[in-house]
């Protein structure tokens, strides 16, 4: 297994992590901006107002995206296992 193979596998792993985390991060961003706008309009500066809705929204996004995330992770793992014979040369 040469350095090029290690870099390729590592690069694919980082891309997979970013792809899988994207739905939760996107939801957290949208909810955070919406709450910030609400706080700016109403001038309510309660710190817990930002955390609870984000946690609920991210958890809901995780539940909704779980089948897709599982499929992506299983596909990536199968791809890694299929690459094992070519890496030992």
For the stretch 52-58, contacts whose Cβ atoms lie closer than 8 Å and that sit 24 or more positions apart, written own/partner, are 54/28, 57/27, 57/28, 57/31, 58/24, 58/27, 58/28, 58/31
* pLDDT of amino acid 84: 83
- CA 29 to chain CA centroid, Å, is 12
The pLDDT tens digits for 5-59 are 788 888 999 999 999 999 999 999 999 999 989 888 988 877 778 888 899 999 9
CB-based contacts of 27, cutoff 8 Å, min separation 6: 57, 58, 60, 61
* pLDDT of amino acid 65: 95
């Amino acid at each position: 297994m040469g350095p090029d193979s290690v870099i390729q596998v590592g690069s694919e792993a980082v891309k997979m992590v970013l792809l899988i985390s994207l739905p939760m991060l996107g939801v957290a961003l949208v909810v955070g901006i919406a709450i910030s706008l609400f706080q700016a309009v109403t001038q309510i500066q309660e710190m817990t107002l930002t955390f609870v809705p984000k946690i609920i929204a991210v958890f809901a996004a995780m539940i909704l995206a779980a089948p897709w995330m599982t499929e992506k992770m299983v596909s990536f793992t199968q791809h890694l296992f299929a690459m094992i014979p070519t890496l030992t040369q």
